[in-house]
Amino acid sequence: MELSQLPLVLLLISNIHSGNTEGETVTLRCDIDGEGVTGWRYSWYKDGSNSVFSELQEHTFSPVTESDAGKYFCYGAERGGSRTSNIGDEVTLTVDTPQAVLSVSPQKWLTEGDPVTLICEVYGSSTGWTFSWYAVSSDYSNRYNLLSDSSRGAGGNYTFSSAALKHTGVYVCTAERGKPGYYTTYSNKQPVWVTGVSPPVSLIISPSRTQHFTSVSLSLSCEDQSNSDRWRVKRYTESLGLEDCSSSVWASQTGSTCTISSTITSDTGVYWCQSESGENYHPVNITVHPDVILESPVHPVTEGDTLTLRCLYQHSTPPNLRADFYKDGSLIQSQTTEMIIFNVSKSHEGFYYCKHSERGESPKSWISVRVSRSESQISVLHTLSSVLAVCPYLLVTVVLIFKCCRMRVLISHIHSGNTEGE
């Protein structure tokens, strides 16, 4: 039989698309257009193999897995006859492993009391996922501890309505779908850093700025009122994750002071103080960068204070540059060696960086602004004084009401007595 006389093979694949996701259902179906043939015996082949993969007209992967990916074609032979089909066109089945992606809104840097939401999504996949969130253990076990009140099946958001110091840490999420359950891999890691209004310890950095040049010495000290050595410096970097200064190869710790002898760009990360009981305090974002950096304060700026920013260049003396200054991506001052903001307010909070036309631009630094303690105290005192001012009037009003009530009762008794005597 010549090729042109062979029955036509139609290879149909249901629910297949570019980049099918593990856990979905995918069906391969082989239809043969052959007149006068009452029944066909089907043979499926995968990736050019001579072995028959399946003998069903319709083969279903439920759920489809990464190992099912490949090139498929089908072939038919007449049951009880001699007719055979031609070989169908090859179809490629691709299968992607679903990946959970974690993000933080509105930002990773918070002050105590701020709300923050962990958003877990499965990109390139349909709905129907339930989510779980985990905190990465701060020791070297790298355990993922399920949040005790982690909600499953309630959407992809997990919210701390009022961030506390204990929420400082690194988080991941996973997603599950179907029965039996199919799980994604753990998501990317997302840090959340909560700065206390009055932390029991301060992270002192020398030189005192958040951005530093490469190949310089950097000192980080945890200092409290008792000047104790019970603190250790910890850090989180994108390349190495959670690390302890006291048992590292990148630095050395003496007492509560951590010293990096020669900085490199991979030292960029978040550094903080950890107590003996595992509590985390005073996180500071440190960036190590060659050439151009922004000199900005390490600690949050208090409302009403003055904020000074400078653009520094590593290979010049003095290192100051005439540069443009930006806040949240918008130009706010151009061609000056420093930018000064008087009477800082909450509206000045944001990401700042500087840019030089020839040297390049610095990394971004987050400037946090906090309410002054004196203003808070004044507000409390004002409230108390208002209450105390009103108290005498309230007291007089209560006494008058009480006397009026007693007078009404007395008059009622007198009236009742007169009525009985009549």
Tens digits of per-residue pLDDT, 153-188? 556 889 999 998 888 888 999 988 766 567 788 899
pLDDT at 124 over 70: no
Q: Which is more confident, 59 or 294?
A: 294
- What is the pLDDT averaged over residues 30-46? 84
Is residue 398 predicted with pLDDT exceeding 90? no
Confidence of residue 249 (pLDDT cuts 50, 70, 90): confident
What the chain holds in terms of domains, given with CATH numbers, is 3-96 (2.60.40.10), 100-194 (2.60.40.10), 199-289 (2.60.40.10), 291-380 (2.60.40.10)
Distance (Å, rounded) from C-alpha 88 to C-alpha 66?
23
Tell me if 32 sits within 8 A of 84, measured CB to CB: no
Most confident of 337-351, 380-394, 405-419: 337-351
> Average pLDDT, stretch 42-71?
86
pLDDT score at 278: 79
pLDDT band of residue 407 (cuts 50, 70, 90) is: low
For residue 419, pLDDT beyond 60: no
The Cα–Cα gap between 311 and 362 comes to 8
- pLDDT > 60? residue 389: no
Whole-number pLDDT of residue 352 = 96
Mean pLDDT value across residues 122-133: 79
- Which pLDDT does position 386 carry in this prediction? 46
Using one digit for the tens of pLDDT, what is the confidence trace for 193-221?
888 777 788 899 999 999 999 999 999 99
**Does position 36 have pLDDT exceeding 90, yes or no?**
no
Return the higher-pLDDT residue of 95 and 263.
Answer: 263
Q: Is the pLDDT of residue 414 over 50?
A: no
Between 404 and 335, the more confident residue is: 335
Long-range contact set of residues 106-110: C-beta below 8 Å, sequence gap at least 24: 107/366, 108/190, 108/191, 108/192, 108/193, 109/193, 109/195, 109/285, 109/366, 109/368, 110/163, 110/192, 110/193, 110/194, 110/195
Q: What is the pLDDT of residue 3?
A: 35
Top pLDDT among 63 and 191 is at: 191
Q: How many CB atoms lie within 10 A of CB 357?
A: 11
pLDDT for the residue 275: 86
Q: How crowded is residue 73: how many other Cβ atoms within 10 Å of its Cβ?
A: 20
Which of 257-266, 364-373, 402-411 has the lowest average pLDDT? 402-411
pLDDT score, position 20: 62
Work out the mean pLDDT of the chain and round it to a whole number: 80
- Report which listed range, 73-87, 191-205, 254-268, is most confident: 254-268
Q: What is the DSSP string of 124-190?
A: T--S--EEEEEEEPSSTT--EEEPTT--SSS-SEEEESS--GGG-EEEEEEEEETTTTEEPBP---E
Segment 274-322, tens digit of pLDDT: 888 878 888 898 999 999 999 999 988 999 999 999 999 988 777 788 9
418: helix, strand or coil: helix
Q: What percent of the chain has pLDDT over 70?
A: 78
The helix (H) or strand (E) run that includes residue 399 is: helix 373-421
Helix/strand/coil percent split, the chain, to 5: 15, 45, 40
With cut-offs at 50, 70 and 90, classify the pLDDT of residue 421: very low
pLDDT band at 8 (very low <50, low <70, confident <90, very high): low
- Using pLDDT thresholds of 50, 70 and 90, give the confidence band for residue 354: very high
pLDDT at residue 75 is higher than 80: yes
Reported as a pLDDT band with limits 50, 70 and 90, residue 23 is: low
| 11 has pLDDT over 70 | no
